[in-house]
Amino acid sequence: MIIVSEDFPIRVEQRGAVAIWTIDRADRANALSRPTLLAFGKLAREAAQNPSIHAVVVTGAGDKAFCAGADLKERQGMTENDVRVQVALYRTELGPLDRSPKPVVAAINGAALGGGLELALCCDLRVAAAHAQLGLPETSLGILPGAGGTQRLPRVVGEARAKEMILLARRLTADEALAWGLVNRVTPAGKGVVDDAVEWIRPIAEGAPIAQAAALEAIDRSFDTTLELGLELEKVSYDRTVVSEDRREALAAFAEKRKPVFKGR
Ligand code: COA
């Protein structure tokens, strides 16, 4: 079991096939300290190898903040070089989450600002509580979103809307974020965002892991390529599913009029 501490500030639990990772730093609005980034890297690398995890939900403790981005208190004591080293950590330690073969869902329980929204952008899907706010305020602080925000936000909402959010330091409400496609779903009133996210992704938890990983890889790589090459990549991903036991199980289940039981093989 992992004990939550300042050195490892992420609470880990498992509900069935879904791992839930909660940044447990409510007193700092769940900001991303160096140990928090290292913990994400460690968990994402381990989850990629763990067959009992089919999906991951990332959230923050409490209901005020999902994550307020960089830990500005930790940053106060840093030199310019320390800041550069810390920004590089976003890439090395959140990269494994972004590239995770298991679907990752952000359950945005409150404000997702700066690096907090960039963390959510590393996830494949985003579910927001109705009171959540989402924004990249960095340019109003004399910097720019340096944890992937300038690259991942336009891929999700398009160039014009990304420029509007970044240049105007504009915060969106959950409903605005839904309308812009920045979040996939807003949790209905009276429900907790984590419970809602876990319920919503049941088809993933019960689904075929090889097919999901292959689909994620094909979709993620589509942004960096031509259509022709992308279609080749899709074929390579498809071939991985053709040889799987899960594909044969789905066909057998269809013939026998029952639900398939997938084993990730
Ligand atoms: N780093 C470190 N500590 C942070 C923090 C951050 N990024 N953001 C908030 N905190 C701390 C606050 O200083 C406060 O601690 P204190 O009581 O010791 O002063 C505590 O977290 C709670 O924050 P508070 O502002 O009182 O809570 P709130 O619920 O009213 O508002 C936020 C929450 C996240 C909306 C607000 O704190 C905020 O806007 N933070 C700045 C986010 C930001 O600009 N991030 C971009 C960085 S590039």
Given its phi and psi angles, is residue 30 left (phi above 0), alpha (psi -120 to 50 degrees) or beta? left
Residue 18 confidence (pLDDT): 98
227 and 165 in a common domain: no
Ligand 1 test: best mutation among 27, 32, 63, 72, most atoms within 8 Å of CB?
72
Within a domain: 182:
yes
Residue 123 confidence (pLDDT): 98
Is the per-residue pLDDT at 3 higher than 80? no
CA nearest ligand 1 atom 29, residue: 64
d(CA 36, CA 68): 13
85 and 139 in a common domain: yes
In this structure, are residues 119 and 111 in contact, taking their beta carbons and an 8 Å threshold?
Answer: no
Residue 215 confidence (pLDDT): 97
Within a domain: 101:
yes
In this structure, are residues 144 and 153 in contact, taking their beta carbons and an 8 Å threshold?
Answer: no
Q: Round to the nearest angstrom and report the end-to-end CA distance of the chain.
A: 27
Residue with tokens 């381990």: 46
In this structure, are residues 13 and 2 in contact, taking their beta carbons and an 8 Å threshold?
Answer: no
Residue 49 confidence (pLDDT): 95
Residue 1 confidence (pLDDT): 56
Number of domains, the chain: 2
Own/partner long-range contacts of 223-230 (Cβ < 8 Å, ≥24 apart): 223/155
Overall average pLDDT of the 20-43 stretch = 97
d(CA 227, CA 244): 26
Within a domain: 173:
yes
19 and 146 in a common domain: yes
Q: How confident is the model at residue 2 (pLDDT cuts 50, 70, 90)?
A: low
What is the side-by-side strand order in the sheet with 111-113? 65-67, 111-113, 133-135, 172-173
Residue 10 confidence (pLDDT): 97
Q: How confident is the model at residue 153 (pLDDT cuts 50, 70, 90)?
A: very high
Is the per-residue pLDDT at 66 higher than 90? yes
Within a domain: 213:
yes
Overall average pLDDT of the 234-258 stretch = 95
Overall average pLDDT of the 81-104 stretch = 94
User: Which percentage of the chain shows pLDDT scores above 70?
Assistant: 99
Residue range of the domain that includes 73? 10-205
Within a domain: 149:
yes
136 and 90 in a common domain: yes
Q: Which atom of ligand 1 is nearest to the CA of 64?
A: 29
Instruction: For ligand 1, say whether the CB of 70 is within 6 Å of any of its atoms.
Output: yes
Average pLDDT in the chain: 95
Is the per-residue pLDDT at 224 higher than 90? no
Q: Which candidate, 139, 130, 140, places its Cα nearest to that of 176?
A: 130
Q: Which residues contact 249 (CB under 8 A, 6 or more apart)?
A: 260, 261, 262, 263
Distance 12 CA to ligand 1 centre (A): 23
15 and 116 in a common domain: yes
220 and 199 in a common domain: no
139 and 179 in a common domain: yes
Is the per-residue pLDDT at 5 higher than 90? no
d(CA 58, CA 265): 26
Instruction: For ligand 1, say whether the CB of 114 is within 6 Å of any of its atoms.
Output: yes
pLDDT digits (tens, 9 = 90+) for 227-239: 999 999 999 999 9
Instruction: For ligand 1, say whether the CB of 29 is within 6 Å of any of its atoms.
Output: yes
Q: Which residues contact 200 (CB under 8 A, 6 or more apart)?
A: 127, 185
Name the residues annotated as catalytic.
118, 138
19 and 137 in a common domain: yes
pLDDT digits (tens, 9 = 90+) for 126-150: 999 999 999 999 999 999 999 999 9
In this structure, are residues 58 and 104 in contact, taking their beta carbons and an 8 Å threshold?
Answer: yes
79 and 198 in a common domain: yes
d(CA 186, CA 242): 35
Residue 142 confidence (pLDDT): 93
DSSP string, 213-262: HHHHHHHHHGGGS-HHHHHHHHHHHHHHHHT-HHHHHHHHHHHTTS----
Within a domain: 174:
yes
Instruction: For ligand 1, say whether the CB of 144 is within 6 Å of any of its atoms.
Output: no
pLDDT digits (tens, 9 = 90+) for 44-60: 999 999 999 999 999 99
d(CA 255, CA 54): 26
CATH number at residue 116: 3.90.226.10
Phi, psi of 228, deg, nearest 5: -60, -50
pLDDT digits (tens, 9 = 90+) for 165-222: 999 999 999 999 999 999 999 999 999 999 999 999 999 999 999 999 999 999 999 9
118 and 25 in a common domain: yes
Within a domain: 81:
yes
Within a domain: 3:
no
pTM, two decimals, is: 0.95
